[in-house]
Structure 1
Amino acid sequence: MGAKGGYIGLQKAKLALLDSNNKVITSGGLNDSGDGIYTVTVSEDLGANAASLTGLAGSTTSVYGNNTRVKMSVGKAQPSIALTVNAFNYETLNKILGRKDLGNGKFNFEGDPVNLAMAVYSNTDDGGDIIFGFYKGIMTPGDLSLATDQDTENRVTDALTYTPLGNEDGDYGLIAWSDADGYEETDVLDSIFPQASSDTTTTTTVATSTTTTSTTTVA
């Protein structure tokens, strides 16, 4: 049996567009046939190649008094994720970059950043899941250096940078381990990718029966 720790591999990445209320967009989003959450897959994107997570902890500054260090001042975290996908589906890629669809396969270069939630999966030594979830952020593209094929293909991956934004509580996201007691993946995903609530109003119509009484007068 392995250890309940470590970070082994990059299992998958999930993304979803958010509306103005920070809820997942299910119609006109990244996955209209489901819950709006798009999973980077081998069949659609040749899989995720790397996810470099930096700035997960705030910087520290020494506070001195009486000629000695008396306290450490800890700043806010500034997380950033460098995500590499081997061959991102171009339709999904343009959506997460906020590029305007000009029709007939054309998209503008610059784009208008859109709010995204993202989850990145790794594994512990014993095979358990580790989920790094980020509530909201924007995705920006990296540079592309195209070169001629030679004896082998010269492949260029989609190198993207995801910059998380803080929520109302100043939090950027969460980390979850599946080995923990009571762990439920759906609960973790609900926190990262909140769905808009649907209120259903049922109207009941009550039929009114009218009885007409006929009176006969005998002469």
Structure 2
Amino acid sequence: MSFTLSPADWQAILLTLKLCSLTTLILLIIGTPLAWWLAWGRSRLRTAVQAIVALPLVLPPTVLGFYLLMLLGPQGAVGGTLNQFGLPHLAFSFEGILVGSVLYSMPFAVQPLQQAFVTLGKQPLEVAATLGASARDRFVHVTLPLCRGGFIVAATLSFAHTLGEFGVILMLGGSIPGETRVLSVLIYDHAEAMNYAAAHSLSLGMLVAAFVVLFIVYGAQKRFDQVKP
């Protein structure tokens, strides 16, 4: 069974890599302070927020995709407001599936970071504070090095999970070439058209890529754990 990647396939591959990279970057930016708050916050809302963050782990992707479509579409609260200001709504757009990907992959970034912060504990930071280190210095020179394994796992799981997203993207973005047709959707399109050679080749490529990424990351995490002071 032979198959050569077409321009449309390469377009989907590049779009998928773009979506995975941006999703991972955004999740690390917003997930780090959120994970820190979940690890050490004392608010009564902490448990509710923790449950909301974990919802994508148990919620069917099509359910999340449906409600995001209603929210971001032209009649939704967000999409309708954007239209009123002369801006396009986010349904069936790359920006829309980016929002969906961030929400759907959030637990895969927040939970490893939260666990890393809890494992670190407050003592190293308190010691650094007594030595005159500012909050920024404590984060850069204490938290980041000692929790690097958690950050690596968070980034990799976020990237790999976004790579395999299907239900949320299909519901929210459909299958628009160059805009929302990522690899998982393209594989579905190939299978629906009974182009099994193309579906097999792309699926095998995603399987190998996901395994290699996870193998490298967990190997790196093990090495960092061994040298952790």
Higher relative contact order (CA 8 A, sep 6+): 2
TM-score > 0.5 by shorter chain: no
The higher radius of gyration belongs to 1
Which structure shows the bigger proportion of residues in strand conformation? Answer: 1
Give me the TM-score of the superposition, normalised by structure 1. 0.25
